[in-house]
Amino acid sequence: MMSSRIDQLLNEMTLEEKVSLLSGEDFWSVPAIPRLGIGKLRVTDGPNGARGGGSLIGGVKSASFPVGIALGATWNIELVTEIGAALADEVKSKGAHMLLAPTVNIHRSVTNGRNFECYSEDPVLTAELAVGYIKGLQGQGIGATIKHFAGNESEIERTTISSEIGERALREIYLVPFEHAVKKAGTWGVMSSYNRLNGTYTSEHNWLLSTVLRDEWGYDGIVMSDWFGSHSTAPTVNAGLDLEMPGPARDRGQKLVDAVNAGEVSQETLDKRVLAMLRLMERVGSLDDHRTHEERADDRPEHRALIRRAGAEAAVLLKNNGVLPLTGSGKIAVIGPNAKVAQIMGGGSAQLNAHYRISPWQGLETALGSGRLDFAAGCTNHRFEPVLQGPFSVEYFANQTLSGEPVHIDTMEGAQAFWIGNVAAGKVDPLHFSARLRGQFVPETSGEHRVGIYSAGFAKVFVDGKLIADAWSSWTKGRTFFEEGCDEVVGTLPLEAGRPHEVVIEFATKDFATLGLAAFACGIGRPLGDEAIAEAVEVARNAETATIFIGRNGEWDTEGSDLPGIVLPGRQNELVEAVAAANPRTVVVLQTGGPVEMPWADRVAAILEAWYPGQEAGNAIADVLTGAAEPGGRLPQTFPVRWADNPAHSQDREVYPGLEGKVRYEEGIFVGYRHYDRVGMTPLYPFGFGLGYTSFALSDLVVDDSAFESDGNVVVSLAVANTGDRPGSTVVQLYVSDEKSSEPRPAKELKAFEKVHLQPGETRSVTLLLDARAFAWYREAAQHWLVEAGSFTISLGQSASDLPLSASLTRATTLMLPV
């Protein structure tokens, strides 16, 4: 519906004013139109926080919430809704009106670098959580921007590759979260993906943006491009892309004015795009927002508590031989590269400058006291050398040759930068400048050190006047900085403990491929050898319980780069084997953005997957380990025994990672647990699995199928009882099987679920509703959903491999459903 005010504004706007609303003014805003009293629309990156208008590094501090896969592991729609509302507070604190979130692409493979940011391998779990997130956010007047629409399931050649996906797989798997976001949550924003879909860029894909999204689903919000993700003028506007981001305009502006005047874009089409923007601005209140832009760091106690609670509810207990929760008063060995480093988030556009970071060591120290804890690092797990900390002086030059006098002098806290928008107080062109940094490094130990540099631009590192690492002379595109940067270049040299060594970094911008940015990171590290593992073994041997904090970090789990595999980086597997041999009470705490291979799983006493749970990471983990909180998580993604077991792994490179500009979704609808069922393979840990500190029983299944024949609806109820002696939670999961279909279908598909919290001895009735779509598959030839005549089985339990309750249903007729 169009308000009379919007109608009036549209009628009063000139062609140039209309066009101005269809492109960004700068990196984060859409321009105001003062003549008509139209305020500026501002957006900010998410989804695990609200960064504001600053760089990926530094900037105004923000609350860091659990990442997407952690929220997926909660299976708790109410909790995710609560987080959405809290994120609305964060967006407001940054003076913005819209959050670029949630991310709902499907976990097609186990190596997608951005899986951490997405919820699940399952479309229904993803969709229901996305609906909660959007309702929480928009209920507070902040617009959601669900992304990336569609087919962005890997980070390899992500800005150009064509995802080749059949329509049935699109309809049944990859489009489901977006469909629910439109039909159930009424999302105000959709972001198109970078990639092509079946040969056409999604930003100019008429079938996707107009036929499906608007005509079939009835969407009335806006579609914006991913940053630098639009590639044309008339084709994007005509296909349904409302907003080109970021600004200033590249393919719009005067080009769009000319296209309208030439008849390449009709006035009617232009007005549709402008009306969508005005409707959004009215919804989020930016039409009348004429305040001076201000960003605040609101460190709210209620957000701290919510993040801590959500982190514990996301933690998945995969194994427990009675060692958890921690009891007694003996020594606890705290071991591993993630023990004293708070791994709170993944990498890429989801990064932000958190208010604080609590490490597992700090969490356990607060809970148990430092006197009970002994530490050993054991090994490292970084992808890049640890960033060199400052301070650094920085000289900026208004050229790319470091020549002449600097036009601006500043300081930096560390040897890393992500320059976008305003650089050097606006005294240089952000895409054409150079900079020289000077600082010092004081080694803690003497010996051979590694100096690493990677950059989106040209860079060199000098130590004590000698060139050590050169990413300038033979710069080659790699997998850093959203595929705009090179891979790390590393040099070595001996350094002396306690002696200040001068470090000089030279940087110059270069032409970019897709994303206009300049960035670098420089680090210095000392490799850990056999002695570090030996020290960890000794610490573990002298402790009552050994806890090992291992996994990955945001250098590995990051936008712009897929993982090379799912083996733990470095010597972490070796460390676990050695510690477990020394202490049978070994607890492994994983922090990853997805599955890892665990060759030691049968030799440790307990395994906890804690993901990246936000700024309260260490406190949330300590709460679970000590029993102050229940490990409430259940796996949102199947953990395979090995990388080669996952659905997208193939000897055919076009299936994954892609070949000659195409990645073919050969597995179709058989993603995640559907694949393992199809091939008869037992995973390491199944979808939906997770243990707790209490036990549950499911019983008294009742299925009301009285309306199944007429309209396809079914009502399922059952009793859930906490049979243990602690409060706890479980997830009731309902799967549907079509016993005989005319086309291949998965052995079972998740269609409903509910998170249930119960006190000891408490029993509760749970009711789950199924509509006709829960029994349907998409028939490409006829362009409709089809529920076939025949028998269906409903199975219920607590994971995809634990389904003790079942019932059969039968239909005598077929039922056709519209798209």
Active site residues: 226
Write out residues in the chain with pLDDT < 70, as ranges.
1-2
Cα–Cα distance, 493 to 3 (Å, whole number): 68
Residue with tokens 């992304």, as numbered in its chain: 147
Q: What tokens were used for 267? A: 């006035």
Cα–Cα distance, 93 to 142 (Å, whole number): 12
Q: Which helix H or strand E contains 275, and what residues bound it?
A: helix 267-284
Strand ranges, E, within 689-812: 696-704, 714-722, 728-738, 749-758, 763-770, 777-779, 784-787, 790-797, 805-811
* 367 and 456 fall within a common domain: no
* 96 and 146 fall within a common domain: yes
Q: Among residues 646, 681, 815, which one has the least CA distance to residue 738? A: 815
**What's the confidence (pLDDT) of residue 2?**
53
* 358 and 423 fall within a common domain: no
Does 674 reside within a domain? no
Residue with tokens 């201000």, as numbered in its chain: 294
Number of residues written out for the chain: 819
Q: Which residues contact 371 (CB under 8 A, 6 or more apart)?
A: none
**What's the confidence (pLDDT) of residue 421?**
80
Q: How many CA within 13 A on the CB side of residue 127?
A: 22
Q: Which helix H or strand E contains 18, and what residues bound it?
A: helix 15-20
Entry pTM: 0.95
**What's the confidence (pLDDT) of residue 57?**
82
Coil, strand or helix: which one is 108?
A: coil
Q: Among residues 477, 478, 458, which one has the least CA distance to residue 469? A: 458
Q: Which residues contact 385 (CB under 8 A, 6 or more apart)?
A: 450, 451, 452, 488, 490, 522, 523, 524, 525
Cα–Cα distance, 109 to 387 (Å, whole number): 30
Strand ranges, E, within 116-201: 143-149, 162-164, 189-192, 196-197, 200-201
**What's the confidence (pLDDT) of residue 158?**
93
State the chain's mean pLDDT as an integer.
Answer: 96
Q: Which residues contact 104 (CB under 8 A, 6 or more apart)?
A: 118, 119, 126, 127, 130, 146, 147, 177, 178, 181
Neighbour tally for 593: CB within 10 Å: 32
* 229 and 284 fall within a common domain: yes
Cα–Cα distance, 619 to 609 (Å, whole number): 15
Alpha helices in 161-233 (DSSP H): 167-169, 176-183, 206
DSSP label at residue 767? E
Which residues pair with residue 335 across a beta bridge?
Answer: 376, 548
Does 207 reside within a domain? yes
Q: Cα dist. 504→392, 452, 465, 495 in Å?
A: 9, 13, 8, 15
Does 274 reside within a domain? yes
Cα(first)–Cα(last) distance of the chain, in Å? 22
Does 718 reside within a domain? yes
Note whether 752 and 774 are within 8 A (CB).
Answer: yes
* 352 and 400 fall within a common domain: no
Q: Which residues contact 573 (CB under 8 A, 6 or more apart)?
A: 567, 599, 600
* 331 and 464 fall within a common domain: no
Determine if residue 301 is left, alpha or beta; phi over 0 gives left, psi from -120 to 50 gives alpha, anything else beta.
alpha
Domain boundary among 474, 496, 525: 525
Cα–Cα distance, 547 to 539 (Å, whole number): 11
Residue 747 structural domain: 696-817
Domain of 400, CATH number, reads 2.60.120.260
Domain of 597, CATH number, reads 3.40.50.1700
Q: How many CA within 13 A on the CB side of residue 191?
A: 29
Coil, strand or helix: which one is 444?
A: coil
Q: Which residues contact 228 (CB under 8 A, 6 or more apart)?
A: 159, 246, 250, 514, 515, 516
Does 676 reside within a domain? no
Q: Report the domain count for the chain.
A: 4
Cα–Cα distance, 456 to 511 (Å, whole number): 9
Alpha helices in 285-439 (DSSP H): 301-314, 360-368
Coil, strand or helix: which one is 273?
A: helix
**What's the confidence (pLDDT) of residue 93?**
97
* 360 and 481 fall within a common domain: no
Q: Which residues of 206-245 are buried (b: 16+ CB within 10 A; e: fewer)?
A: eebbbebbbeebebebbbbbbbbbbbbbbbbbbbbbbbbb
Q: How many CA within 13 A on the CB side of residue 297?
A: 12
* 180 and 123 fall within a common domain: yes
* 38 and 160 fall within a common domain: yes
Neighbour tally for 109: CB within 10 Å: 25
Q: Among residues 670, 666, 722, 668, which one has the least CA distance to residue 692? A: 722
Domain boundary among 472, 498, 525: 525
* 429 and 350 fall within a common domain: no
Q: Backbone phi, then psi, for 202, in 5-degree steps?
A: -65, -25
| Torsion sign (Cα): 54, 60, 63, 66 | positive
Q: Among residues 367, 366, 378, which one has the least CA distance to residue 334? A: 378
Coil, strand or helix: which one is 136?
A: helix
Note whether 98 and 141 are within 8 A (CB).
Answer: no
Domain of 139, CATH number, reads 3.20.20.300
Cα–Cα distance, 144 to 190 (Å, whole number): 8
* 437 and 554 fall within a common domain: no
Q: Among residues 336, 343, 388, 414, which one has the least CA distance to residue 525? A: 388
Q: Cα dist. 526→182, 339, 359, 379, 757 in Å?
A: 51, 18, 22, 11, 47
Please give the order of strands across the beta sheet that includes 815-817.
777-779, 784-787, 815-817
Domain boundary among 525, 548, 575: 525
Does 210 reside within a domain? yes
* 268 and 316 fall within a common domain: no
Does 201 reside within a domain? yes
Q: Among residues 204, 202, 245, which one has the least CA distance to residue 227? A: 245
Does 684 reside within a domain? no
